[in-house]
Amino acid sequence: MSDEEIPEQERKIVTEFCYLLDKSKQLFNGLRDLPQYGQRQWQAYFGRTFDVYTKLWKFQQQNRQVLDTRYGLKRWQIGEIASKIGQLYYHYYLRTSETNYLHESFSFYSAIRMRAYYSKANKEDKPDLMVKKLRYYARFIVVCLLLNKTHLVRDLVRELSKQIQDYGSTYDPGDQLEWSLVLGEVQAFLDAEPLVILDTESSPVTISQRLQKDTVPPLEPGTEVRLSLQEVIIVGNRKDQVKFSELTVDMFRMLQTLEREPEGLDATEQTTNGAQPEKEGETGENDENIPGKRENPHKYLLYKPTFSQLYTFLASGFKELPPDGVMLVYLSSTGSTGCSKPEDEGAYDYGGVLTNSRKEGEELMKKSKLLKDMHCLHPGDLYPFTRKPLFLVVDSENSEVFKNMPNLFGQPRLCLLSPVAVPTDVVDEIAKGSLFTLFLHCPLTGLLTICKLSDIPIASWERAQRQVGRILEEIARLLMGCKSVDGMYHQFYGDEFLRLLLLRFVFCYCVFRLHRAFKGPAYYPQCHPELPKNEVLEALTVQKQLLDLASTLDIRAMFYEIDESLE
């Protein structure tokens, strides 16, 4: 049938579809030009993009038959639209830190797989289409990793491996090698999990480590909440640490530690309450999908940022921090030692942590011992941002240089610092993530890891978790009840996320202090301002409960007796 014979109404449908498709592509491509920092600058643009994709998705649903016959709409084209919507939700999650949008992204990616939208992509003789299919798999894997859907990740890895082989045999063997490296990264990321929890049938179970109702001891009635965590900057640059899609293991763990589990969603079987492909409903409408209230602190994920990039994000987070807000800066980075050790607070002379491994000016640095690495973040670099409440977590072999930061502006400021040494029998495990960050992420997993336990029945896990909960409650009682605890801790304590980090920090210190492999202060984490040892860090009540936990797990022999540990 010629164009003249196509009914006017059907021609209008095709024209409208082409307009919406072109408009959606323009808006989507424009997202990459938006600044990654700041919040108000991008929200309106995302809203317009969601709106167009909502109309496009509903339009193709309602006019599928006409588009099939008059436009020649193929299933992979529907899959491409769904994939773009999944990407929109994922990037909106990254910008808002709200895990509901991560679940929406999962629902679209999952529907593409279940409905086999890309099943005939390899028959189109279009290499770029096959690359889109491979990228879809990689993005879906990232979303599944963030949602702890480990079983599905393993299935997707097998499917992606087959697709890569098909792509290499049909198109470009050189690209096949690059995609094989991606597969290797995913597998290494999965293998980095140090502990397997087994159900009653000895099958692995994945437990979410996001904040839930019973994760953190509650505040005492009447406790004044002064500050709340609003901005988080997560930086990763650990040499040789496993990473996937610009997300190291440490960054991944800290990201999840600082997120709440969505209300009403089970930790193991999560569903989406939003719209799904092929269903009526509102997908991406501004009023429904862009809330004004944020349940999680806003986060920036920076993998190997240059100094200028990091400083830009620090300044943006600082600018948008409300008067009662806290900015948390988490640094998982290789240390960089200083040129000298003067008798001062060491703003720049003790060194710091490397945020990027680039070597601009390396030849000049070799010729002059006075030159410092331009991508080293020194304690003094953070001084301007202590004009507002700052919570600093440093995981590095050079973390101790941050322990004497002066309080120049009288604002609340607190530093949690990793040990500067690691026992020789766990050094090789650093590629799978730092022990310090692991304890902040999940204390029980950290405890079992340093005691060389690789799996545990779920009944034992749940029993041990209850004991860990009681230990954290005791630490909370000591922190709030001890008069010699610096008032800075009380200021931050009201926020659930910061309270959890503080309690887990003390738990980590106590475990390292009692464990026979950690021989001396270099192996213990530090904090500034310092916590009193006898009343909090080495309190006998906490040590006794910890040894009871060790007895329950049958690892008691790995720990000192209390009298021994205090010699």
Q: What is the mean pLDDT of residues 391-420?
A: 95
Q: Can you tell me the mean pLDDT for 46-62?
A: 95
Side chain identity at 475, as an amino acid letter? I
Confidence bin at 369 (pLDDT 50/70/90)? low
Which residue would you say has higher pLDDT here, 34 or 305?
A: 305
The percentage of the chain sitting over the pLDDT mark of 70, rounded to a whole number, equals 86
- Provide the residue count of the chain: 567
Question: Is the per-residue pLDDT at 557 higher than 70?
Answer: yes
Q: How confident is the model at residue 285 (pLDDT cuts 50, 70, 90)?
A: very low
pLDDT value at residue 272:
33
Contact between 303 and 241 under an 8 Å Cβ cutoff? The reply is no
Taking CA atoms, 103 is separated from 154, 280, 562, in Å, by 19, 18, 46
The stretch 397-426 carries a mean pLDDT of: 93
pLDDT tier at 169 (50, 70, 90 boundaries)?
Answer: confident
Tokens of 174: 């050189």
| pLDDT(124) > 80 | no
Alpha-carbon dihedral of residues 338, 342, 348, 354, nearest 10 degrees?
A: 20
How does pLDDT run across 445-461, given as a tens digit for each residue?
Answer: 999 999 999 999 999 99
Q: Which long-range contacts (CB under 8 A, 24 or more apart) does 179-187 make?
A: 179/134, 182/138, 182/244, 183/157, 185/242, 185/243, 185/244, 185/245, 186/141, 186/145, 186/153, 186/157, 186/244, 187/157
Determine which of 51-60, 205-214, 327-336, 453-462 has the lowest per-residue pLDDT on average. Answer: 205-214
Amino acid 33: pLDDT = 86
Domains of the chain are 3-198 (1.25.40), 228-269+293-565 (no CATH)
Cα of 144 vs its chain's centroid, Å: 13
CB 56 within 8 A of CB 16: no
Rounded mean pLDDT of 534-556?
Answer: 96
In this predicted structure, the answer to whether residue 175 has a pLDDT above a threshold of 80 is no
**pTM, full prediction:** 0.90
Helix (H, G, I), strand (E, B) or coil at 468: helix
| Residue labelled with tokens 């995302």 | 46
> Residue 267 and residue 395: Cα distance in Å, rounded?
28
Strands 351-354 and 335-337: antiparallel
Where are the extended beta strands (E) located within 359-454?
A: 376-377, 390-395, 413-417
* Residue-level pLDDT at 238: 87
Percentage above 90 pLDDT, the chain? 69
142 touches 160 (CB < 8 A): no
Distance separating alpha carbons of residues 33 and 47, to the nearest angstrom? 16
pLDDT of residue 240: 80
Q: Across all residues in the chain, what is the average pLDDT?
A: 87
